[in-house]
């Protein structure tokens, strides 16, 4: 549901994807041809402009305000205390989220260091001044990356007011897509939702009608796929005529099926086991034997079985040669 202003007569579309999150500022140039082929032309990642660095800047600022107000704490000692620093980092993350609703945030931490409570006010204007160098560096990198037909933005940093203003200044608002519409898929969740929808086609799982996915898109993404199921089961018995002691392949498994089973061979005689075919009504039929396997060093053996769509059964013991029935 990306609605971005593009040149309708162009044979290709150039899209810039900006992912600005906790680890780094990542920018990618995606070229989409008229035939629908997409390719990545360029990519940069700048960890020095990460969201974690922004949290560090605010953490240092809150620590300075606290030490200035407390007076009895030497400058820099608060951040050297691991517990105090961890508390300040959590408070800084909460403050950044709160700046989306209020121009002033009060940070309160009980017993920050040496039993002294922290109670300071942090202003949004001051926070944006701290980000001056970060925003200028990010703006220079985005400008140097080129011009594009549309821009897709993702990441928690892009939700900050000062970053939103920078993006709107660099690119017309009609070209920047942030997934703000209620019918749009958030860019941060696009990969997870795509993987889930792709996986549902293989496991024959339907999408609930109440899911926030356009019904017109369901048919283009999800397709019915016929899967052949194994009509019988394959098991092992220690002696011919005995019921199967171990099931290697369950009846009804989707074909092709691959199974690795560790079998206890203490009950076998003369190092021989029977492969049996188990039908729905429980009747069994011997279809092969496993003989002369090496069980001297262990009381267990590993049996690998594969059943193809054509009905060919392959069996190997302890990684040895494969026999096909």
Q: Which two tokens stand for residue 182?
A: 């209620």
Q: Which residue has the higher pLDDT, 8 or 124?
A: 124
Cα separation of 186 and 261, whole Å? 42
Is 285 within 8 Å of 277 (Cβ atoms)? yes
Mean of pLDDT values over 314-322: 80
Sorted by sequence, the CB contacts under 8 Å of residue 75 that are 6+ apart come out as 64, 67
Dihedral of alpha carbons 155, 156, 162, 168, sign: positive
pLDDT at 182 over 60: no
Cα separation of 38 and 295, whole Å? 54
Mean of pLDDT values over 223-240: 74
Q: What's the whole-number average pLDDT of the chain?
A: 79
Q: Which residue has the higher pLDDT, 100 or 227?
A: 100
The pTM of the whole model exceeds 0.85: no
């Amino acid at each position: 549901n990306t609605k971005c202003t593009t040149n309708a007569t162009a044979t290709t579309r150039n899209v810039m994807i900006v992912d600005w999150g906790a680890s780094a500022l990542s920018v990618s140039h995606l070229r989409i041809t008229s035939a629908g082929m997409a390719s990545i032309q360029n990519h940069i990642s700048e960890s020095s402009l990460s969201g974690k660095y922004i949290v560090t800047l605010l953490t240092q600022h809150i620590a300075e305000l606290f030490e200035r107000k407390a007076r009895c704490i030497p400058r820099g000692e608060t951040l050297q205390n691991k517990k105090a620093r961890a508390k300040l980092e959590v408070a800084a993350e909460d403050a950044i989220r709160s700046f989306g609703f209020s121009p002033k945030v009060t940070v309160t931490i009980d017993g920050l260091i040496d039993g002294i409570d922290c109670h300071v006010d942090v202003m949004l204007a001051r926070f944006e001044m701290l980000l001056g160098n970060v925003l200028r560096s990010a703006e220079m990198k985005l400008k140097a990356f080129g011009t594009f037909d549309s821009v897709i933005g993702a990441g928690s940093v892009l939700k900050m007011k000062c970053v939103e203003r920078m993006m709107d200044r660099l690119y017309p608002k009609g070209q920047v897509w942030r997934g703000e519409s209620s019918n749009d898929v958030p860019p941060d969740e696009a990969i997870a939702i795509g993987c889930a929808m792709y996986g549902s086609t293989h496991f024959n799982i339907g999408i609930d009608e109440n899911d926030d996915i356009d019904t017109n898109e369901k048919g283009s993404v999800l397709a019915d796929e016929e899967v052949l199921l194994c009509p019988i089961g394959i098991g092992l018995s220690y002696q011919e005529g005995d019921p199967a002691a171990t099931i290697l392949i369950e009846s009804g498994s989707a074909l092709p099926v691959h199974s690795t089973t560790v079998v206890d061979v203490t009950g076998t005689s003369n190092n021989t086991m029977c492969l049996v075919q188990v039908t729905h009504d429980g009747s069994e039929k011997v279809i092969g034997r496993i003989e002369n396997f090496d069980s001297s060093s262990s009381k267990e053996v590993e049996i690998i079985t594969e059943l193809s769509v054509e009905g060919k059964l392959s069996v190997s013991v302890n990684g040895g040669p494969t026999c096909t029935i």
